[in-house]
Structure 1
Amino acid sequence: MLRLTVTVPSELTEQVTQVLADSTAVSSLTLMRGVAIRPRGDVVQADVAREGANALVDQLRELGVHQGGTLQIEPVSTWVSRAGFEADEETPGSSADAVVWAEVAQRSYDDSELNWTFLSFMSLATLIAGIAIVLDSQILVIGAMVLGPEFGAVAALGVALVRRRALLLGVAARALVVGFAVAILVTCGASLVGRALGWVTLQDVTGERPATDFIYTPDRWSFIVAVLAAAAGVLSLTSSRLGGLSGVFISVTTIPAAGNVALGLAFGAWHEVRGSGLQLVVNLAGMAVAGWLTLLLQQAVWSRVPAPRSHSRLNRHVHAEPPPRRR
């Protein structure tokens, strides 16, 4: 169940309430007149079955709600309502499978914003990956994978292609390129300091590392794992079941590969740079392609789900016979 809150100028209120009242996906509808200050107007709230949200959002956008007012979409984690149950049952599709595209697009923009926080997490994760390589520690490699924020931007590439959002594509690509470049430069600088202090040696970078040698030796399995992990990650994001993301983060070696590239640059170990650079490209390409194909499939499948019926639930309940009274 989702809660839609629409703040609109008064001249749009009747059209907005009519759209919501005529949808079987709406289980409750509230109108508060004159409570909005900016824009001056009214606030309309509706509880909507998740699988019916896209059609309603499209209709409200056609009315120009997003230009003259605001449309907010919030998940309702717990609800107890007979009308809500009926709306969920009568709306075609499954709430678990429904992709609310407005929600996905907003999250994609948020996760792809190139800001201080994004660059900090990228740099810190890559620094930890560099230390993991020096110590040949799988535990630290996993920690670096989980800390890295790059998957959101990778998933945003697929959203941008499927929804044809050129701006989002540019924002996500810029975040990935600049984010990895900054993280590698920071880690390379730290590696040079460690080299000068004698804390890190060439043998640490090029010697035998049985626990972390997969970072610089990409193969077909690297691509396959990246594809499978990205598909699972996109499904987690679009279905709001975020528990699967942890498995995604520790399945692909983007951040560890960037850390090894930085170490290789600091010590002139070009074999490490080439191998890890290829690993990074293979993983990013695999995730981007898998994310795009998964979203494309979801869009194609969801487009075949019948649109929600449009007739007033209010009339149906008014004319419905009351339940028999218990004695």
Structure 2
Amino acid sequence: MLHLRVICPPARTAAVRDLLLDQPGATHVTVLPGVAVRPPGDVVEADVAREATDDVLAALTALGVDHDGGITLEAIDTTLSDAADAAEEEAPGDGGDAVIWDEVVARTGEESRLSISYQVFLTIACLLAAIGAITDSPVTVVGAMVLGPEFGPLAAVAVGLVLRRGDLVRRGGLALGIGFPAAMLVTAGAALLFDAMGLLSTSTLDALDQVDFIYDVGPFSLIVALLAGAAGMLALSSAKSASLVGVFISVTTVPAAAFASVALVEGRYVEAGRSALQLLVNLAGIVIAAAVVLMLARRSRHRWDRGRRLSAG
């Protein structure tokens, strides 16, 4: 379940309270008159089943509470309550599969920012992937794949396309369009340094039996990217975000960007081109699959809402 806290003007408190009392998936409803200071107003709290949360948020925003008050959601790890168990039973659907659209937008928006930490993580991941490729170490390459933060911007682009949110598409595109070239430029500089120190030469790249998947583009490159994008969006939009780590390990984005830089420095233009193609295939596949998953979830939701209205009428 999720804990909901609403700050609202006193004139809307009754409407918010009644809304929560009429929602079978909400329980533990509490009204605290006049306790909010900034913004001023009353506080209404409740515990809401995840599968009912999207309806509750839509109704609250329709009341305008998000403009002259505030709405806060936080996860509840443990609830010992017969009332909470009953609310989860009465709420339609399964909590693990429920999509809270406002939560998805908030998470993707926050994780797609072109921040200093994002750029540092992406650059370090590319450097690790380059070292893993040079040393033919798949373990190091996998570590770089886990470290890479690129799924946030990719998810933001997919969410923006489905919800027609141009701000999310621009933000995610900016993080990818600036982040990857900057990280690749630093990686190329590191490759030049390794070359000058005698740690890297073109012959080093002749036998990369363990990491040749980085630049080996084929049908499975797109298939893996599509599966990873679908799994990643399912994990991001449901209550199973721990599965995202598996998605990071599946996709060859950071390693491809890193190897393209190294191969270009060493004059191996074929491998550099294939690595760049691998990067583009993975980026496109992830966005396409993630967008399709969101569209299917949205269509399923609309179909369920239509059926509920027909049965109610």
Map of 1:158-173 to 2, 5 A cutoff?
A: 158-173=158-173
52-61 or 116-125, which deviates more: 52-61
For 1:189-226, what per-residue CA distance to the aligned partner results, in whole angstroms no more than 9, with x for missing partners?
11111112222112123x12111111112110000011
Equivalent residue for 1:65?
65
Map of 1:188-227 to 2, 5 A cutoff?
A: 188-205=188-205, 207-227=206-226
**Alpha-carbon distance in structure 2 between the residues aligned to 1:304 and 1:31:** 34
Contact 1:7 1:42 in 2 (8 A): yes
**Alpha-carbon distance in structure 2 between the residues aligned to 1:195 and 1:309:** 66
**Alpha-carbon distance in structure 1 between the residues aligned to 2:187 and 2:60:** 48
1:34 matched to 2:34: yes
The residue type paired with residue 214 of structure 1 is: F
Equivalent residue for 1:55?
55
* 1:309–1:84 distance in 2 versus 1, CA, 3 Å: farther
Contact 1:232 1:248 in 2 (8 A): yes
Provide the secondary structure at the position in 2 that maps to 1:155. helix
**Deviation at 1:307?**
8.2
Contact 2:7 2:41 in 1 (8 A): yes
Contact 1:7 1:36 in 2 (8 A): yes
Equivalent residue for 2:140?
140
For 1:255-275, what per-residue CA distance to the aligned partner results, in whole angstroms no more than 9, with x for missing partners?
000011111232232112200
Equivalent residue for 1:293?
292
Question: Aligned-pair RMSD on alpha carbons?
Answer: 1.6
The residue type paired with residue 5 of structure 1 is: R
**Alpha-carbon distance in structure 2 between the residues aligned to 1:256 and 1:138:** 10
280-289 or 86-95, which deviates more: 86-95
Contact 2:41 2:69 in 1 (8 A): no
Map of 1:231-270 to 2, 5 A cutoff?
A: 231-270=230-269
**Alpha-carbon distance in structure 1 between the residues aligned to 2:296 and 2:308:** 24
Provide the secondary structure at the position in 2 that maps to 1:305. helix
The residue type paired with residue 89 of structure 1 is: E
Tell me the matched-pair count. Answer: 309
Contact 1:8 1:41 in 2 (8 A): yes
* 1:12–1:270 distance in 2 versus 1, CA, 3 Å: same
Equivalent residue for 1:44?
44
**Deviation at 1:306?**
4.5
For the pair shown, which has the larger CA radius of gyration, 1 or 2?
1
Contact 1:5 1:44 in 2 (8 A): yes
**Alpha-carbon distance in structure 2 between the residues aligned to 1:220 and 1:82:** 52
TM-score by length of 1: 0.91
**Alpha-carbon distance in structure 2 between the residues aligned to 1:209 and 1:94:** 46
The residue type paired with residue 64 of structure 2 is: G
For 1:28-54, what per-residue CA distance to the aligned partner results, in whole angstroms no more than 9, with x for missing partners?
211111111111111111111111111
Equivalent residue for 2:275?
276
The residue type paired with residue 91 of structure 1 is: A
**Alpha-carbon distance in structure 2 between the residues aligned to 1:2 and 1:87:** 12
**Alpha-carbon distance in structure 2 between the residues aligned to 1:158 and 1:244:** 18
Equivalent residue for 1:313?
none
Q: Which runs of 5+ in 2 are unaligned?
A: none
Map of 1:151-190 to 2, 5 A cutoff?
A: 151-190=151-190
Equivalent residue for 1:318?
none
**Alpha-carbon distance in structure 2 between the residues aligned to 1:12 and 1:172:** 36
**Alpha-carbon distance in structure 2 between the residues aligned to 1:307 and 1:20:** 22
The residue type paired with residue 7 of structure 1 is: I
Q: Which runs of 5+ in 1 are unaligned?
A: 311-327
Equivalent residue for 2:90?
90
Contact 2:154 2:286 in 1 (8 A): yes
Provide the secondary structure at the position in 1 that maps to 2:71. strand
**Deviation at 1:303?**
2.4
For 1:59-111, what per-residue CA distance to the aligned partner results, in whole angstroms no more than 9, with x for missing partners?
11111111111101111121111111121111211111100111111100111
**Deviation at 1:140?**
0.6
The residue type paired with residue 119 of structure 1 is: Q
Equivalent residue for 1:319?
none
